[in-house]
Structures are given as structure tokens and as C-alpha cells.
Amino acid sequence: MFTGIVTDVGRVRAVRAGHEARIEIETAHQTAGIAHGASIACAGVCLTVVETGPGWFAVVASAETLARTTLGGWRAGTRVNLERALRLGDELGGHLVLGHVDGVAECVSLAPEGESRRAVFAVADDLARFLAVKGSVALDGVSLTVNEVDGRRFAVNIIPHTLAATTLSGLAGGARVNIEMDMLARYLARLVEDRG
């Protein structure tokens, strides 16, 4: 489990493609302290560490993960938001994030709003029902508050600190990002469906 508070922006150093992909990521995290089998959120996707080396770790992404997320498009040099798994007693600064990405959202527009940036995204119809004003989403692993919802589109404000500390600084119109809907919204929707 994660919080959506990015702790490092890593960089893909190698990808071995196939039915599953082996991805090596450079990081500022102390890799000597990362156990094989540890979970790390990579652009919001919970992945298992299979190997480490000085300043890098490797993960394997399944065919399902490659199909449902942006990972299939990663190449050497791709910048990646990273977050180590939450430990009991850690501060919960964002919201509860599982690292189970629901799909991909597309950036429809960007506009400055003071020193922040207002970004509008579009999601698939089946995900739109989980959006709520003042609810949470994780975009490429970053916990953000939904400020506006209009059908399949929603808007978030990205503050200067988040722009500086994550890959969202490079966001452009048409960009695709991994999206995880709020866990509570998913369970509430299921509860309502079961009663319907």
C-alpha cells in the first residue's frame, strides 16, 4: 500500500520486452536496503523488485499490466515517479493508494492557475462513475484532489511543489497517465450496484 506521495523520480535504464517486460530503473533510493520481493509503486503501478544493483532495481511487468497501463511504452530514459511501500507508523500524507491501476487517463488541456497548473483529463466511461468533486485520484502515482467533474472529464490543480517533485512537470496535452481511482469510491459503487 502507498500514499501517492512520490519519494523519487527515477529513470528507466533498460527494458527487455516480451509477453512480460523486465524493466530496470535508476533511483536515488538506497538500493542496498530494498529486498528482493519488495513492492515499489512505479508511475503508480505496484511492482515487485526482482533484482537490485548500485543505484538501480529491476521489476517485471505482466502482460495484464502492460495492457492496462502506460508501461508498455516505456523506453530507456523514461522518467518514472517512485514510492516505496508504506510501513505501519509512516505518515499518510496523500490518500490510500493500492498501486492497482484502473486504466489510463488522457490529458485534454493544461492552463496556468496562479503558480499552479490546472489539468483536465478524460477517462473511459466505466471509470467516470468513480469520480467525485473533492475525491482523490492517483495519476502516475501522484495523489491529487479532483476539483471538477464533467462526464468523463475531470480537473485537478497541480501545485508548484508537486510539479517540481514529480514527472507531472513534463505533462502536455495528449499525454497518457496511469490512473487509480479512489478505493472507497470503488467499494461504494460496488455496494450500490449490489443493492440495485
Question: Residue 135 contacts by C-beta under 8 Å, 6 or more apart in sequence?
Answer: 145, 146, 182, 185
139 and 184 both lie in a single domain: yes
For range 187-192, the mean pLDDT: 72
Over range 39-56, report the average pLDDT.
98
Please indicate, yes or no, if residue 64 is contained in any of the structural domains: yes
Element (H, E) at 143: strand 142-150
Residue written as grid cell 517512485:
82
Average pLDDT of the chain, as a whole number: 93
**Domain limits for position 17:** 8-84
- Taking the whole predicted model, whether its pTM rises above 0.95 is answered as no
Q: How far apart are CA 118 and CA 146, in angstroms?
A: 11
Do 141 and 178 fall into the same domain?
yes
152 phi and psi angles, rounded to 5 deg: -85, -5
Domain boundary among the residues 53, 84, 115 is at 84
pLDDT of residue 196: 60
Q: Are 180 and 98 in contact (CB under 8 A)?
A: yes
In terms of domains, do 118 and 47 share one? Answer: no
Same-domain pairing of 115 and 171: yes
Q: Which of 39, 57, 84 is the last residue of a domain?
A: 84
As a whole number of angstroms, the distance between CA 22 and CA 14 comes to 8
pLDDT for 148? 97
Are the beta carbons of 83 and 6 closer than 8 angstroms?
yes
Domain end among 21, 54, 84: 84
Q: Is the pLDDT of residue 105 over 90?
A: yes
Q: What is the pLDDT of residues 16-27, one digit of tens each?
A: 998 899 999 999
pLDDT for residue 141: 98
Tens digits of per-residue pLDDT, 125-184? 999 999 999 999 999 999 999 999 999 999 999 999 999 999 999 999 999 999 999 877
Per-residue pLDDT band at 110 (split at 50, 70, 90) = very high
